């Protein structure tokens, strides 16, 4: 189902399949994307947890970086230890600005001397602008791959579904392989945005729909929309760009300081060297005033982004940045930023909802244990 206004939006190669499956389409990052199918968000979420959900993530940017100087150039722009990243592996990385804020969070894959970068759809223009502003001077080129689509097959049965089509046996979390599926070239990583085992599959646009049909022919696979993708990532405690991280957020404040490789930290083999390094590395020894935390509101009502977090005396000490009902737990979960002193003190917190005080407890993330194949 698509409104007339959505006709001007970009479409992924799977757009006709979404409509045929009865998807509710919404504008997202300049694309017409499925937010849910007739079964609904909760059922799609639970099916991914128990079987396998197929997500169209072709709106995301895919960028090839090639050449002998590719590693050094990417390291000069990101927080990753790419020199220490083995061929056939993938890493999470941050693209920081000069103030230590986050332009985008990335997944970077290495195959030999070449790298493949996946960025958020809403940040693609900003990512490309940052690359252009720091254009490589050595033997290195980069190119946006608009000829590629991207699927995510997520859930405990993902390997069972994919193995007859492509040899993914033996792959572990964050492994990457270039594979052939009956003459169709695939780049497959064992990763995802759900906390479940699964794969992300990059493939040519021209063959994408037919390959999706082969996956969907399996009785355990269902199309799954952006709505369930959001509840799954929230249960896994993963950041959503624009909600939980942005250009004003530093990695340590966002509790993703682990995205700065050990070799890139103070005392490391290649410490710093990326934009905002002084700010970012300084926060490891002088922590920022606020920090991202998991939150468990009492009651059954989800607490949404923008809701203020209050101390017992009514002073504002934080804000919720992501919140929703957890289909796996049957209760609301959220995350947001609170004053570091409040987190350390353990003092009682609450929000105000419909004139009532609703207690909120700081919780450890992920809310639902991840099930990566390590």
- For 240-283, the pLDDT digits (tens) are 999 999 999 999 999 999 999 999 999 999 999 999 999 999 99
What count of other Cβ atoms lies within 10 Å of the Cβ of residue 16?
A: 11
Which CATH number is 353's domain given? 2.40.30.110
CB 328 within 8 A of CB 260: no
Looking at the structure, do residues 166 and 308 belong to the same domain, yes or no?
A: no
* Predicted confidence (pLDDT) per residue in 293-346, tens digit: 999 999 999 999 999 999 999 999 999 999 999 999 999 999 999 999 999 999
CB 223 within 8 A of CB 216: yes
What count of other Cβ atoms lies within 10 Å of the Cβ of residue 57?
A: 20
List CB contacts of 209: < 8 A, sequence separation 6 or more. 13, 14, 16, 17
Looking at the structure, do residues 187 and 296 belong to the same domain, yes or no?
A: no
pTM: 0.96
CB 360 within 8 A of CB 299: no
- 314: tokens are 């009514």
Average pLDDT in the chain: 96
* Cis peptide preceding 366, ω within 30 of 0: yes
Looking at the structure, do residues 46 and 170 belong to the same domain, yes or no?
A: yes
Reduced to 3 states (helix: H, G, I; strand: E, B; else coil), residue 150 is strand
Reduced to 3 states (helix: H, G, I; strand: E, B; else coil), residue 129 is helix
pLDDT at res. 6: 56
Give the whole-angstrom CA distance, residue 95 versus residue 275.
Answer: 8
pLDDT at res. 12: 98
Looking at the structure, do residues 174 and 47 belong to the same domain, yes or no?
A: yes
Q: Containing domain of residue 157, as a range?
A: 4-55+147-235
Q: Where are the alpha helices (DSSP H) in 137-267?
A: 158-162, 205-216, 226-235
pLDDT at res. 3: 58
pLDDT at res. 131: 98
Which CATH number is 204's domain given? 3.30.1360.120
Looking at the structure, do residues 222 and 322 belong to the same domain, yes or no?
A: no
- Say how many domains are in the chain: 2
Quick check: 1 pLDDT over 90? no
Looking at the structure, do residues 204 and 343 belong to the same domain, yes or no?
A: no
Reduced to 3 states (helix: H, G, I; strand: E, B; else coil), residue 110 is strand
Looking at the structure, do residues 303 and 168 belong to the same domain, yes or no?
A: no
- From the list 60, 92, 86, the residue with the least C-alpha distance to 71 is 86
Looking at the structure, do residues 319 and 177 belong to the same domain, yes or no?
A: no
Q: With left for phi above 0 and alpha for psi between -120 and 50, is residue 25 left, alpha or beta?
A: beta
Of the listed ranges 4-8, 201-205, 242-246, the one predicted with least confidence: 4-8
Q: What are phi and psi of 161, to 5 degrees?
A: -70, -45
Looking at the structure, do residues 39 and 174 belong to the same domain, yes or no?
A: yes
């Amino acid at each position: 189902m698509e409104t007339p206004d959505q006709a001007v939006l970009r479409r992924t190669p799977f757009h006709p399949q979404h409509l045929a499956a009865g998807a509710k389409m919404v504008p997202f990052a300049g694309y017409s994307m499925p937010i849910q199918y007739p079964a609904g968000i909760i059922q799609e979420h639970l099916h991914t947890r128990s079987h396998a959900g197929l997500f169209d993530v072709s709106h995301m940017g895919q960028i090839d970086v090639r050449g002998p100087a590719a590693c050094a150039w990417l390291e000069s722009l990101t927080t990753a230890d790419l020199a220490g990243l083995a061929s056939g592996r993938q890493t999470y990385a941050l693209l920081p600005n000069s103030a230590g804020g986050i332009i985008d969070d990335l997944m970077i894959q290495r195959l030999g001397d070449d790298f493949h970068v996946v960025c958020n759809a809403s940040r693609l223009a900003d990512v490309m602008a940052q690359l252009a502003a720091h254009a490589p001077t050595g033997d290195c080129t980069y190119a946006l791959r608009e000829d590629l689509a991207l699927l995510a097959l997520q859930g405990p049965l993902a390997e069972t579904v994919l193995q007859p089509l492509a040899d993914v046996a033996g792959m572990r979390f964050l492994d990457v392989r270039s594979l052939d599926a009956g003459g169709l070239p695939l780049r497959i990583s064992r990763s995802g945005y759900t906390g479940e085992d699964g794969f992300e599959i990059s493939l040519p646009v021209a063959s994408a729909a037919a390959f999706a049909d082969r996956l969907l022919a399996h009785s355990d696979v269902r199309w799954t929309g952006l709505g369930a993708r959001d509840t799954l990532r929230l249960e896994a405690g993963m950041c959503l760009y624009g909600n939980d991280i942005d250009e004003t957020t530093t990695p340590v404040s966002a509790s993703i300081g682990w995205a700065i490789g050990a070799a890139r930290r103070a005392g490391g083999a290649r410490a710093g060297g990326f934009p905002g390094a002084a700010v970012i590395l300084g926060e490891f020894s002088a922590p920022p005033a606020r920090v991202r935390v998991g939150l468990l509101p009492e009651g059954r009502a989800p607490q949404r982004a923008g809701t203020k977090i209050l101390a017992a005396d009514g002073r504002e000490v934080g804000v919720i940045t992501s919140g929703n009902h957890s289909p796996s737990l049957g209760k609301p979960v959220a995350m947001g930023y609170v004053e570091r002193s409040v987190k350390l003190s353990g003092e009682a917190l609450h929000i105000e909802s419909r004139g009532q005080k609703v207690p909120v407890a700081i919780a450890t993330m992920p809310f639902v244990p991840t099930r990566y194949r390590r």
